[in-house]
Structure 1
Amino acid sequence: MRTHGWAGATPASDEEAIARILRAAGEVIDGGEQELSILRVAERLGVTRQTVYRYFPGTDALLQATATNATGEFLDELAAALHGITDPADAVVEGIATTLERLHTHKRFGLLFAAPGDGRFAPEVTSEIALRTGRHILDRFDVDWTHLGWTDRDLDELAEHMLRTLQSFIIDPGHPPRSGSDLRAYLHRRVAPHATLPRDRTRS
């Protein structure tokens, strides 16, 4: 069902309306809002709150859809950035650094690491959605984990360690914050060793 308003540019279909609502929600979050509100999204679109409610019954539903939308976008960007990196330690370092850079410029990606149903974007790294996202990140690396001897449990624990490292940097980025080559050098020294299996479990 199409609606009137939309700042003079009515969407051609429900699918377009939903896409524009999700894009607006992401922009509101990227703008620094600590909580997503239907009113702010409606104002950005030039529609009433009732129009948004036709597609999403409440803030939680809109947050969940925005998180799902952001997940695909984030994973695609990360996979492109890490394409061709086959060494586990290098991939983990670049994955963490790139994620921190994306979170800095696109705050909506913080939804990937938030607790379900939470209107705030504080990192909840042990939430189900965060751990699942962390594992998806590892699975999309160009690393042949199976050939190198990694098990599902190893990868789940590595994903959790990566997320806990991310959480630490998000909560306290440092004074001054590390970035670029300085950040990557630090991660190579302190995090990369955790992306290596014990010698007795490494396949030749």
Structure 2
Amino acid sequence: MRTHGWSGTTPADDTEAVERIIAAARTAIERSGADFTMAEIARDLGVTRQTVYRYFANADALLTATALAETGRFLDVLAAHLDHITDPAEAVVEGIAYTLESLAADRYLGLLLSPGRAGVFSPGVTSDTARAFGRSILERFAIDWERAGIADTALDELVEHMLRTVQSFIIDPGRPPRRGVALRAYLTTWIAPALRELQP
């Protein structure tokens, strides 16, 4: 690990260095939004740009890592919102709808999912980052996925389908955009039957 700079307080290891870089990015996002530069982050940390680039290839990668680090709070809220739902189809429908409705209010979720941002949809909806994020959502549902007949490959495919559905609604919400009851009715009609077909 490079020891130059760090405003006189060198991180103990690479893990701490990454945490401090992400913390600086979080401060920059709170200060001026997502359009920060690596030079700005380096200046705030008292290191060279090369030091920041050692841990993150570019500002997009740092933005995504920061947003992912902050979405744990959203996932906790989502899990609490869904903890009374034991039917997989109902949980997936509500999970998609609630995520879409939360985009406007959650700064970091918006960074991850909004089109044009450096989030999970920039490299593609089926990127490793996107699928890891989707899997972390499903694992917080109060559902025994294996008992519901949705495990292993099927669960991975469900993550992909959910991400593709969310991406579609983000890119084109519809005319007029579906919200509330109308959104849930649409998702129940076209997504719930496939999940129920898989259940024993």
TM-score by length of 1: 0.70
CA distance in 2, matches of 1:28, 1:177: 31
Is the CA contact (8 Å cut-off) linking 2:64 and 2:120 kept in structure 1?
no
Q: How does 1:159-178 map to 2 (within 5 A)?
A: 159-178=159-178
Paired position in structure 1 for 2:197: 197
**CA spacing shift, 1:24–1:195, aligned 2, 3 Å:** farther
Q: Is 2:44 aligned against 1:51?
A: yes
CA distance in 2, matches of 1:125, 1:16: 26
1:27 maps to amino acid? E
**CA spacing shift, 1:37–1:75, aligned 2, 3 Å:** same
| Residue segments in structure 2 that go unaligned for 5+ positions in a row | 8-16
Paired position in structure 1 for 2:118: 120
1:102 maps to amino acid? S
Q: How many Å apart are 1:62 and its aligned residue? A: 3.0
CA distance in 1, matches of 2:94, 2:179: 12
Is the CA contact (8 Å cut-off) linking 2:22 and 2:62 kept in structure 1?
no
Paired position in structure 1 for 2:24: 21
Deviates more, 1:52-61 or 1:174-183: 52-61
Q: How many Å apart are 1:73 and its aligned residue? A: 2.2
Is the CA contact (8 Å cut-off) linking 1:25 and 1:66 kept in structure 2?
no
Q: How many Å apart are 1:68 and its aligned residue? A: 3.1
1:158 maps to amino acid? L
Provide the aligned C-alpha RMSD in A.
Answer: 3.4
The alignment-based identity, stated in percent, is 47
Residue 196 of structure 1 aligns to a residue in which SS?
helix
CA distance in 2, matches of 1:51, 1:78: 33
Q: How many Å apart are 1:100 and its aligned residue? A: 0.8
TM-score by length of 2: 0.72
CA deviation digits over 1:114-147, x for unaligned, max 9?
Answer: 9xxx963472311101011111211111011122
CA distance in 2, matches of 1:194, 1:135: 18
Q: How many Å apart are 1:102 and its aligned residue? A: 1.9
1:76 maps to amino acid? D
**CA spacing shift, 1:87–1:28, aligned 2, 3 Å:** farther
Residue 173 of structure 2 aligns to a residue in which SS?
coil
Q: How does 1:170-189 map to 2 (within 5 A)?
A: 170-189=170-189
Paired position in structure 1 for 2:70: 70
| Residue segments in structure 1 that go unaligned for 5+ positions in a row | 4-13, 43-47
CA deviation digits over 1:146-189, x for unaligned, max 9?
Answer: 22222211111111111100010011011221111211111111
CA distance in 1, matches of 2:85, 2:104: 23
1:24 maps to amino acid? T
**CA spacing shift, 1:17–1:146, aligned 2, 3 Å:** closer
1:50 maps to amino acid? R
1:23 maps to amino acid? R
CA distance in 2, matches of 1:122, 1:150: 24
CA deviation digits over 1:7-41, x for unaligned, max 9?
Answer: xxxxxxx9997675343344368x5x5x44357xx
1:167 maps to amino acid? Q
Paired position in structure 1 for 2:92: 92
Q: Is 2:137 aligned against 1:137?
A: yes
CA distance in 1, matches of 2:89, 2:164: 16
Is the CA contact (8 Å cut-off) linking 1:82 and 1:95 kept in structure 2?
yes
Q: How many Å apart are 1:197 and its aligned residue? A: 3.3
